[in-house]
Amino acid sequence: MNFIISSSTLLKNLQRISGVLNSSNSLPILDNFLFELENGALTISASDLENTMKTVVNPDESREDGRIAIPAKLLLDTLKNFSDQPLSFTIDAGTFGIEISSDYGKYKLVGQNADDFPKSPELENSEAIELSGEIIASAIDKTLFATGNDDLRPVMSGVFCQFSAEKLIFVATDAHKLVRYGRSDSSASKPSDFILPKKPLNLLKQNLSGAEQVSIIYNETTVRFSFDTIELTCRLIDGKYPNYEAVIPVENPNVLTVDRLSFLNSIKRVSIFSNKTTHQVKLKVAGSELALSAEDLDFSNEAKERLTCNYNGDDMEIGFNSKFLLEMLNHINTQEVILEMSEPNKAGILLPSSNDNENEDILMLVMPVMIR
């Protein structure tokens, strides 16, 4: 197995899939990239058993088809220290010996048997849908931050995808905050739902430009994304997602409209003085004035600010975790935001004030922190 390839082309392709690699693996073979040369096309794979990512690259020259597993860290570290130049790979199938020749010299390393590398699962009884990269990238950006980290509730550590003939819905929650992101400009032929884990979503986020078309094939256990020269296969989270619709309050008569950036910066400043456990910021709304305050009684720290706003409803005082509010406000792009509330002990709903994209529908929910 021999091929010649540009060092920068190879490095760029390896970096696209290297996010799959774990720093410590139970199987030594997973510390390698799988190289498969067939009919002049080089397919490179990385896997952690749960996720497998492949990229296809065309070498400048190639002779003799073959397969080998090459140590990932050693190869990446070597390629990072080359200026762009052709590299010649010569691989001995019998001893798994690898020789890389460059303008500077020769480098020898030993690979492993490609047959030990885990195979990608076949997707039987699958459904398929094609989406633009922009829809997937937006859905990931708007939901991923709201996923949970609780190992006891794995279903909440992923993003719930609900496909129907009317629209696509993506939901994330950690029981303290919730985001529901809907798109009406795409639909599926058959209703289905599944929970995507965090890691593949982060890998997609790093690799999507937004301009590509993404083919998604999925069944009850696995989903495969294909776009450009990339293929990502991942195992879905097994379990039933909580009924998120039940926690979204319907009657919210108290409606606050405020400039997003002013609100965001005000919370940033005031929250510095908040209790380091609860991160509580109090909002007190009366007429057209919003008063923000935070205090840390242990250290006698206190901060207060006032903002002008537009408010319809009864005078109200409610407390929220400032970290959650900041995360949400950072993921809304409009000039103004709407905060809908019912009572101080019930969830608040954060919405964009206008809709630049009529096909998009965003709802963010945040649970209150009880005011003592």
In terms of domains, do 95 and 158 share one? no
Per-position b or e across 113-130, b if 16+ CB within 10 A of its CB: ebeebeeeeebeeebebe
| Any domain includes 372 | no
Q: What is the pLDDT of residues 210-252, one digit of tens each?
A: 889 999 999 999 999 999 999 999 999 999 999 999 999 999 9
Q: Decide which of 245, 272, 293 is a domain's last residue.
A: 245
255 and 344 part of one domain: yes
Section 255-263 average pLDDT: 97
Q: Are residues 278 and 229 both part of a single domain? A: no
Mean pLDDT (the chain) is 95
Confidence at residue 11, expressed as pLDDT on a 0 to 100 scale: 97
Residue 371: inside a domain: no
On whether both 56 and 75 belong to a single domain, the answer is yes
- What would the two tokens of residue 333 be? 């792009």
Report the pLDDT averaged over residues 93-108.
Answer: 95
Name residues whose C-beta falls within 8 Å of residue 193's C-beta, 6 or more positions apart in sequence.
Answer: 160, 161, 162, 163, 241
The predicted pLDDT at position 372 comes to 66
Query: Does residue 122 sit within a domain?
Result: no
Report pLDDT for 151.
Answer: 85
286 occurs within a structural domain: yes
Say what the pLDDT of residue 312 is. Answer: 96
What was the pLDDT predicted at 357? 81
Residue 356 has a pLDDT of: 76
Q: Cβ contacts of residue 9 below 8 Å, gap of 6+? A: 57
Give me the number of domains the chain comprises: 3
Are residue 51 and residue 142 in the same domain, yes or no? no
Q: Are residues 221 and 143 in the same domain?
A: yes
Query: For 127-170, what is each residue's pLDDT tens digit?
Result: 999 999 999 999 999 999 999 998 889 999 999 999 999 999 99
Assign 343 to helix, strand or coil. coil
Considering the domain boundaries, does residue 351 fall inside one?
A: yes
- Residue 93 within a domain: yes
Mean pLDDT of 192-199: 96
Render pLDDT for 272-284 as a digit per residue (tens, 0 to 9).
999 999 999 999 9
| DSSP symbols for 191-249 | -EEEEE-HHHHHHHHHH--SSSEEEEEE-SSEEEEEETTEEEEEEPPPSPPP-GGGGS-
Q: Of 64, 96, 116, which closes a domain?
A: 116
Residues 83, 156, single domain; the answer is no
CA distances from 1 to 29, 41, 68, 99 (A): 20, 12, 9, 11
Q: Which residues, 6 or more positions from 228, have their beta carbon under 8 angstroms from its beta carbon?
A: 212
228 and 149 both lie in a single domain: yes
Amino acid 329: pLDDT: 97
| Residue 36, SS3 per DSSP | strand
CATH number, position 261: 3.10.150.10
| Within-domain flag for 300 | yes
**Does residue 278 share a domain with residue 205?**
no
CA distances (Å), origin 82, targets 14, 79, 258:
14, 5, 52
Instruction: Give CA separation, 371 vs 60, 267, 272, 278, 295, in Å.
Output: 67, 17, 18, 11, 11
Domain identity same for 255 and 241: no
Residues 110 and 7 in one domain: yes
Q: Are residues 101 and 179 in the same domain?
A: no
pLDDT, one tens digit per residue, over 337-372 is: 999 999 999 999 999 998 778 889 999 999 999 876
CA-CA distance, 261 to 205, in Å (whole number)?
A: 25
% of the chain at pLDDT higher than 70: 100
Check residue 26 and give its pLDDT: 87
Parent domain of 12: 2-116
How much is the pTM? Answer: 0.92
List pLDDT tens digits, range 79-88: 999 999 999 9
Give the closest residue to 76 by CA, choosing from 28, 24, 7. 7
The answer to whether position 121 is within a domain reads no
Q: What integer is the mean pLDDT of 161-182?
A: 96
Query: Which of 57, 90, 116 corresponds to the end of one domain?
Result: 116
